[in-house]
Structure formats: structure tokens, C-alpha cells
Amino acid sequence: MANNLMRIDPFRDLARFDPFRDMDEMFRDFAPSVWRGADVSPRMRMDVSETDKEYLVKAEIPGVQKEDIKVAINGNQVSLSAEVKEEQPATAGKTGSLRTERYYGQVQRSFTLPQEVDDDQAEARYENGVLHLSLPKKVGTGGKQLAIQ
């Protein structure tokens, strides 16, 4: 019977007291309608890897036509931008949307690489919502080690 006893802590509920626990749920339910005009752009997710000769970038940009993607290279600075366009309903009568969570508008991302990029040899490919960049390193721009005399 001693194994079935439970210690009572009168302050346990006070330690877990969170007056704002329901606020998150309330904003999650009402945010799409209340904050519809708010300028909240999603972050472009990407992976950057490096080999001896080049940098490889994979950026997720779903729902974009390749004509709406722009890549700018300036030395070791790379900038990506794209425009996500809102789809027009195919039906003749406009139906009211019950919930809208998808983002429409401009997304952009810039980053700096450790070494300059040879922009003449750089290549970009877009397939299945992923932008693939092959950014060859510029020859002769790496760091120089000095011999100590």
C-alpha cells in the first residue's frame, strides 16, 4: 500500500500557472483574418555547401515560375529574389475563402560567401520548387599566407 501513495505538492499548480496559455490558440485561429494585411514575408530556406572549386546552393522557392526568379552576384555577395503570384480562381463566380495561409508577394535573401564567385561561369537551374546554383570560386582570390622571415 505504501507504493500507491502520492505526494501532494500544493504549489504544483502555481508553478505551472500560465495566464497566457490560451492567447496563442486565439491568435492562431484569428490571425489569418485579422492580420491579413500585415506585411509578413516568409524566409527563403536554403542549403549552402562548398567543394574545392565551387559553392553549391539549394534554395526552396515553391510556387514560383522560373521567369520570376532573379539571382544577382557581386563579388562574394549573392542575392536571390522571387515573386510569388496569387492564383486566380478558374470558376466564373468568386467563392469566399475559408482560410488563407499561403504567402503572395516578394521574397528575397542575400548572403555573403567566404570567397569571390566567378560570375561568368555561374549556373542556375530551377526544378520542383528548388533553385540550384553552382557558383565557381574565382581563381586567385583566396587568402594568402605569408612566410615569416
CATH code of the domain containing 112: 2.60.40.790
Domain boundaries, position 49: 41-86+104-139
Does 146 reside within a domain? no
CA distance 131 to 107: 13
Please say if the pLDDT value at position 69 is more than 80. yes
Does 67 reside within a domain? yes
The 3-state secondary structure of 31-81, one letter per residue: HHHHCCCCCCCCCCEEEEEECCCEEEEEEECCCCCHHHEEEEEECCEEEEE
Number of domains observed in the structure of the chain = 1
Does 30 reside within a domain? no
Provide the grid cell at 110: 542575400
Does 8 reside within a domain? no
pLDDT at 24: 61
pLDDT at 89: 59
Does 19 reside within a domain? no
Residues 72-85: what's their mean pLDDT?
91
State the average pLDDT for the chain: 78
Closest C-alpha to 61, from 83, 86, 79 = 83
Between residues 87 and 93, the one the model is more confident about: 87
Does 57 reside within a domain? yes
Please say if the pLDDT value at position 90 is more than 70. no
Does 51 reside within a domain? yes
Residues 30-35: what's their mean pLDDT?
52
CB-side neighbour CA atoms (13 Å) of 5: 6
Residues 1-20: what's their mean pLDDT?
64
